[in-house]
Structures are given as structure tokens and as C-alpha cells.
Chains A and B, each alone.
Chain A
Amino acid sequence: MTTLHADTDTRVVSLLRVLWRSFTAGFALTSADKVALAARALFFVVVTSVLASMWRVAVLVNNSGSVSGGGEPSVAGYTAVAIFWYIAAAEAALIPVPSNLIEQVAKPIADESVEVWFSRPVYAGLPTVLFRFGQILPVSLTCALTGSVLAVALAGPPPNLVALTLALPALCLAALLSIVMQYSFGGVAFWLGDISGMWLVYHRTVFILGGLIIPLETLPPWLEPVAGALPFMATVYVPGRLASGHVEPTLIVRQLFWLTVALGVVALVFRRGEERVCRRSL
């Protein structure tokens, strides 16, 4: 019995070590490529400037906007400064994650090279997810820093420092959740084979129901609760909402909930997919 426990402990420690090394390897790989990091940051700056500027103008000159408590014009409760911080954080959550990650996951499944994964002593699924997370985190942090500088320079100081502090872990969770969700969608290739084009559908869903371009509060009344109940909001809206000055720690709890669900789904999808591949190989 004691030996069994010791074996299990050793296996868990080994697994944790593999996961940690996968994460640090991904982190080191991206951090070393300074040019690519700068290019992504520049792209982030351009996209954020355009989108946030458009919203800012819309808030300041729109015909139907209300006046918030502080006397500033606002749309759906977002002032010109708040909407800039929202867009900066939302883009910082989205841009670092490769837009075609679903295709990248689906490709080895569709061409059956994924079978190599199944022959390894440690199941490669989770380490691969953490390697990706390690790759993406430096870009997320760079974008967060750049976005903060940009927002202060073009809009003004953060509306609430406590909320901004909460936005940082929310940003990391959003990136991790986004990766796990895209792995789940990519795993559909076990059954459908070629799923090219699905990444675009996923991304546009995030655009609308995740609150990337328009915060959930600006959606029509019938759609807002639907979007709020789906996991897409945890990948973009949550960091944006917190960075825009709303102290709502429960949003992070919702992210953790969706992360747990997504990890369960991805494990199930890949286990069933592995079984299917093994059956086919017999």
C-alpha cells in the first residue's frame, strides 16, 4: 500500500515536472525571439489604437449616449477612458493567442501524425497546452504593458487601480482558457478530419459573444445574458471589464469555472479521439 502511494506520488511529481518544463521551455522560446515579440507588440498597438480610438470618438460624439455619474458622456456605462482600457485589455487577451491555433491542433490529427503523441511515456496533451501557454504568456505580458502605456498616453490613467490589478491574473487565465478551448475545438478533427475554416467561426464567435469589439453591455438585451452565460466571455470580456475600472472579482471565479470545464472537455475529446485512432489502427 505504502509502495503504491509512493509510486503515485512519484508519478504526480514527474508529471508536474514535465508540465513545468514544458511551460518554461515555451516561455524561454518566445522570450528569446525579441524581434517577433516586438512585431506582435507593434501589431497590438496598431489594432488597439484604431479600435479604441473609434470607440472613444463614438462615446464622445454619439447621439444616444448618456451622461455617467461623474458628468462624463458614456455608452452602456463606459466612459471614453474606460472603453479605451477595456479595448486594450481585451485585445491583450486575444492577440497573443495564435488566431489559427485550432487549425494547428487539427492538422496533426487530420494527417494522423498525432499517433506519435500516444506512443510517448507521458501523455503529450497537457504538456503541449502548457508549452503553448508558456509561449503565449510573454506576448500577453508585453501587450499588457504596452497597452497600459498606450491607454495612459492616449486616454488617461486607469479608472480603478484595484480593478486593474485584478485584470492581470484575469489576462493570464483568459490566455490559458483560450488555448484549452481551441484545443477542444481542434480535437473535433478526430471525427471530422478537415476542419479548416472552423477557426474563423470560433474567432468571430469570440468577437461577438466574447465582447472583443463591443462590450457585452452594448449587446441587445436578449443577447447579453446569453453571451454572459457562455465561456467566450471569460477569454476576452473579463480582463477588459476589470481593466475598465469595474471591481468584480467574481468574474475571475467564473474564469476558473470555465477553465475547469474546458480542461474536462479537452481531456474527454482527446481520450475519445485516441480510442478512435487506436480502433482504426487495429
Chain B
Amino acid sequence: MSAELVAIRPRSLLRVYGRLLANSWYEAYSNRAAFWTGAGAMTTNNVAWIIIWAFFFDEVGTVRGWDGDRIRLLLAVLATAAGLVLGFFNNVRRLAEMADTGEIDAALALPIPTLPYLACRRVKPGGIGDFVFGPVLFLLAANPTPVRTATYVVGSLSGAAVLIGFLTAVGSVGLRYRNDVVSEQGFQAILLFAFYPVDIFGPWARFFMYIIVPAGFVSAVPVRLVDEFSPGLLALQLGVAVALMAVGVLTFNWAMRHYTSGAAWTQA
């Protein structure tokens, strides 16, 4: 298997993944009604959060440096990062489930690395809705200058890398122990915490939201980068993104070393 992998050049691999993503996109788009319903529902969700935060800050004013404008920037960054991951690489949150449905078995038979193949194999319309909503919100409500826009793009991409690394890691733990509660709760936790302005909380909560479930690096740190750029903070953000991607890949490889097929053959 490894000899076959060596035989495929990186450029060819990238082309394969590009085509795979395109196919996944057409597959999702083939059911137009479901596609637009999913994307529309996610947009509604984002609008609901904007409304909730508007009401909250109208009532309490500025809290530890956070106000309505800053929270809209946070939502723009989060929608872009989460939309990119959950829209185009949705399978990273389904690793445990895919073991049961036999999808991992099918991927293992292919002469390309398994994890990127699985990640690209499913496009989710709801995530696409987020991915479009984020930049629109940024352009409309976050005072987009060239510098802020560039930082927003880098921040959102690195936030997406943090999210994909974390989801792959918890998904792989779920895959290893064949229990998708771990991956589902991890997914819910990081997404939920990413909706909140981390600086509002006390030191313990901040420790939790930066270290245990790194939601702060998905949204809050990129927001700070856009508002108050500093090279040190950017280096930290990029370092965490690379580290979490590495953790995700290592955890997946560890889970695969213990993998035995769990497909329900009786369904064949």
C-alpha cells in the first residue's frame, strides 16, 4: 500500500482531492430543495444569533471590551471558519459513524491517503450557508479595510484549521472506541463555546476555552487579530492551528492502527 502511495505525486493527489470535492459538491447540489433549505436554515441560525447578541448588549452595554460590533465580527469569523469545515469537510465529525456504515472500509481500499479522502467526500449545504454568510456579514458590519480584511481571511482560515484538527482528534477517539458520543459532544462543545466572547469569562473558563476545548482559537483570537493586530498573537494562532492539525492526523493514525471493520454486512 505504501509503495502505491509513494507512486502518486503530490500534485496528482491535490488534483484527485479537488475533483473529489467537486463531485461531493455536485452530489449535494443535485437535491436543490434540500440544498437551499439547509443553507437557508443555517443563515436563519446566524441571523438569530445576531439578534440574540444585539438584545443582550442593548440590555447590558459593553462587557469587558465586548459590544455589539465586536460580537458581529466574531460571528463573521466563526461563520466563515465553521462554514468552511462543516460545509466542505463535514465528514471529519462523522468518523465514528462512518466505521459503522462501512464508508471507512471503502476508503481503505483506495490508493490515496484515507483521512483527506474521507474529509472531502461530503459537502453539507448548511455549512455552505455559513461560509457565504460569514464574508457578507464581515463586509456589511465589520468595517472592512484592506488590513482588516487580510487579517480576517488569515484568522478565519487558521480558525478553520483549529476546528478541523480538533474535530478530527475527537472523531478519531470516537472511531477508536466506537462511540460517537465523544465526537458529538466535542463538536457541540467547541461550536457552542466559539459563539461566546471568551474574554468575558473568568480564568478557569478561559483556561477551558483555550486549552481543553480550543474554541477561543476558532473565533475570539482571530477577532482580536482583526481589531488589534500583533505579530506575536498571529504566530500563536498559526502555531496552534498547525499543532492541532498535527494532533488530528496523529490521533486518526492511532485510531486506524486499532481499526477493525464494523460495517453492518447484513445490510448488503
Binding site for B on A (CB under 8 A): 35-36, 39, 42-43, 46-47, 49-51, 53-54, 57-59, 61-65, 75-76, 194-198, 200-201, 204-205, 207-208, 213-214, 218-220
Stretch at the interface among B101-109, B156-164, B196-204: B196-204
CB < 8 Å neighbour of B63 from A57, A195, A205, A207? A57
**Nearest chain A CB to B41's CB is how many angstroms away?**
3
Give the residues in chain A near B181, CB-CB below 8 Å. Answer: 35-36, 39
CB < 8 Å neighbour of A53 from B33, B37, B202? B202
A43–B202 Cα distance when bound, in Å, is 19
CB < 8 Å neighbour of B61 from A50, A64, A197? A64
CB < 8 Å neighbour of B60 from A42, A64, A207, A213? A64
B34 touches A62 (CB 8 A): no
B45 touches A200 (CB 8 A): yes
B64 touches A61 (CB 8 A): yes
A50–B195 Cα distance when bound, in Å, is 11
CB < 8 Å neighbour of A200 from B41, B62, B196, B205? B41
A35–B31 Cα distance when bound, in Å, is 38
A208 touches B48 (CB 8 A): yes
Given contacts A58-B200, A196-B34, A197-B37, contact A219 B63 (CB under 8 A): no
A54–B192 Cα distance when bound, in Å, is 13
Give the residues in chain B near A208, CB-CB below 8 Å. Answer: 48, 51-52, 55
Q: Give chain B's interface residue range (CB within 8 Å of chain A).
A: 35 or more
Closest residue of chain A to B57, judged by CB? A58
Given contacts A54-B196, A207-B52, A220-B55, contact A196 B38 (CB under 8 A): yes
CB < 8 Å neighbour of B193 from A50, A58, A198? A50
A201 touches B41 (CB 8 A): yes
A59 touches B60 (CB 8 A): yes
B59 touches A64 (CB 8 A): yes
**Nearest chain A CB to B81's CB is how many angstroms away?**
19
CB of B110 within 8 Å of the partner chain? no
CB < 8 Å neighbour of B55 from A42, A57, A65, A219? A219
Binding site for A on B (CB under 8 A): 31, 33-34, 37-38, 40-42, 44-45, 48-49, 51-52, 55-56, 58-64, 126, 181, 185, 188-189, 192-193, 196, 200-202, 205, 209
Say what secondary structure dominates the interface of chain A: helix
Closest residue of chain A to B202, judged by CB? A53
Q: Using A76-B59, A200-B41, A219-B55 as known contacts, list a sample of 14 further A-B pairs with CB atoms less than 8 Å apart, ordered by residue number in A.
A: A36-B181, A47-B192, A50-B193, A54-B201, A57-B63, A61-B64, A62-B60, A63-B60, A64-B59, A196-B34, A196-B37, A197-B37, A208-B48, A214-B59
The 9 closest A-B pairs by CB, nearest first: A197-B41, A204-B48, A63-B61, A62-B60, A58-B60, A218-B59, A200-B41, A197-B37, A64-B61
A204–B52 Cα distance when bound, in Å, is 9
Give the residues in chain B near A51, CB-CB below 8 Å. Answer: 196
B189 touches A46 (CB 8 A): yes
What are 15 A-B contacts defined by CB distance under 8 Å?
A39-B185, A50-B196, A53-B201, A53-B205, A54-B201, A57-B202, A58-B63, A196-B37, A196-B41, A197-B37, A197-B41, A208-B55, A213-B56, A218-B55, A218-B56
B37 touches A194 (CB 8 A): yes
B48 touches A197 (CB 8 A): no
Give the residues in chain A near B59, CB-CB below 8 Å. Answer: 62, 64, 75-76, 214, 218
A50 touches B205 (CB 8 A): yes
A65–B62 Cα distance when bound, in Å, is 11
**Nearest chain A CB to B265's CB is how many angstroms away?**
22
A61–B64 Cα distance when bound, in Å, is 8
A207–B45 Cα distance when bound, in Å, is 10
Closest residue of chain A to B182, judged by CB? A39
Most buried by B among A58, A63, A194, A219: A58
Give the residues in chain B near A49, CB-CB below 8 Å. Answer: 205
B37 touches A57 (CB 8 A): no
**Nearest chain B CB to A227's CB is how many angstroms away?**
11
